[in-house]
Amino acid sequence: MGGELRDSHGRVMRDLRVSITDRCNFRCLYCLPETEEAANFYRTRFDAVRNPRPAASVPIHREWKPKSEILAYEEIVRVVRVAAGLGIDKVRVTGGEPLLRQGVEHLVAALAGVQGIRDIAMTTNGALFHAKATALRAAGLKRVSFSMDSLDRETFRTMTGRDGLDSVLSGIRQARDLGFSPVKVNSVVIRGMNDHEVAALAGFARRESLSLRFIEFMPLDSSRAWQKELVVPAREILQILRKEFELVAVDQSGNPAETSRRWAFADGSGEIGIIAPVSEPFCGHCNRLRLTADGKLRTCLFSHDEHDLKPLLRGGGTDLELEERLVELVRHKEAGHRIGQPDFKQPARTMSCIGG
């Protein structure tokens, strides 16, 4: 095998996000907003923009896949091995919540053994991290990112549908103690919900020597309740931060495909970044692909087309045929998403089903 995964826009793919389950034990209001608090929040925001459709009446589009349709670990490793032969060198294990799937440390160990893969990371909500942390580190997991949108217990519960702040905080500190580096925290910022905590979250990252990423609210929720008015744009987040902290821009010239714009605190402790797919799209340098838990390849987070690899994986396809299929699909990767454009349509599946 050989060659590379180059699309028609000249971008070369290096990063593969691998979802291993579509299930999640949280009900975050920007993904699976099923709690009364989430419905109330969206209902008041619909009223605020004079939209007659209350969130509680919006149908939830979600379809858990049966176990038979979920890729086995061996199938995942095969896809990664073939992709690595085409230049993929970074893998991020995601969900849903990846730690809901049994034996995830065995998958990590297998991925660590794939020639060409130099970096294995995971995104988790942290609720189950404590039980698996040591095994994951020993298996070869190098980096871990935690989802934590608030430091206030009630706001955290409203945003996630769970009273899990203490577990996440404990997991973050455990990851740091075990030598994961860097330890990242992802915070989705929603106007009227947690935007008042931007400075507090940054201060937490500074005190704890973490890399914190603020993420703009994206249209990937199951209730279709996303509104652009609820997005806190990157420039506003940065203005808030600069009022509280002295920030130094991080040199990112060596990695133009990074999703976040990054700043270090002037005292050298911790780092913050802003991921702004809505207000400042970074599609022109995108080098990422996504493999869903049920074996679909997505060439963009907001793709409307998914490409099922299971017929090849389970129908006797050779590695060469799988390689040729990946090359073909990547060649037609979208130039970019169309958030904010009149013809934008939200993907049929939520972030939980797509994979982070």
What is the Cα–Cα distance from 167 to 175, expressed in whole angstroms?
Answer: 12
The count of domains in the chain is: 1
CB 211 within 8 A of CB 261: no
For residue 216, give the DSSP letter.
E
Closest of 253, 245, 251 to residue 270, by C-alpha: 245
With tokens 């929040």, the residue in question is 41
- Is residue 97 in some structural domain? yes
Query: 24 is in which domain, residue-wise?
Result: 15-354
Q: 337: domain CATH number? A: 3.20.20.70
- Is residue 5 in some structural domain? no
b (16+ CB within 10 A) / e for 103-136: ebbebbbbbeebeebeebbbbbbbbbbeebbeeb
pLDDT score of 50: 47
pLDDT score of 271: 96
pLDDT score of 218: 80
DSSP assignment of 222-289, as one string?
Answer: TT----GGGB--HHHHHHHHHHH--EEE---TT-TT-SSEEEEETTSS-EEEEE-TTTS--GGG--EE
What is the Cα–Cα distance from 224 to 272, expressed in whole angstroms?
Answer: 29
- Is residue 3 in some structural domain? no
Q: Provide the pairing of β-strand 211-216 with 271-275.
A: parallel
pLDDT score of 149: 97
CB atoms inside a 10 Å sphere around CB 19: 30
For residue 6, give the DSSP letter.
B
pLDDT score of 228: 81
Examine residue 96 and say whether the peptide bond preceding it is cis (omega within 30 degrees of 0): yes
Residues of the chain scoring pLDDT < 50: 50, 52-61
Closest of 282, 275, 292 to residue 348, by C-alpha: 292
CA atoms within 13 A on the CB side of 162: 19
Predicted model pTM: 0.89
- Is residue 62 in some structural domain? yes
**pLDDT digits over 35-76, tens only?**
667 667 766 665 555 454 444 444 444 567 889 999 999 999
What is the Cα–Cα distance from 95 to 32, expressed in whole angstroms?
Answer: 13
pLDDT score of 199: 98
CB 174 within 8 A of CB 135: no
pLDDT score of 341: 59
HEC per residue, 114-161: CCCCCEEEEEECCCCHHHHHHHHHHHCCCEEEEECCCCCHHHHHHHHC
Rg for the chain, CA atoms, rounded? 20
Terminal CA-CA length for the chain: 28
- Is residue 1 in some structural domain? no
pLDDT score of 253: 83
What is the Cα–Cα distance from 289 to 15, expressed in whole angstroms?
Answer: 6
- Is residue 116 in some structural domain? yes
- Is residue 9 in some structural domain? no
- Is residue 2 in some structural domain? no
CB atoms inside a 10 Å sphere around CB 151: 16
pLDDT score of 95: 92
DSSP assignment of 160-193, as one string?
Answer: HSS--HHHHHHHHHHHHHTT-SSEEEEEEEBTTT
Measure the CA dihedral 148/154/158/162, to 10°: 70
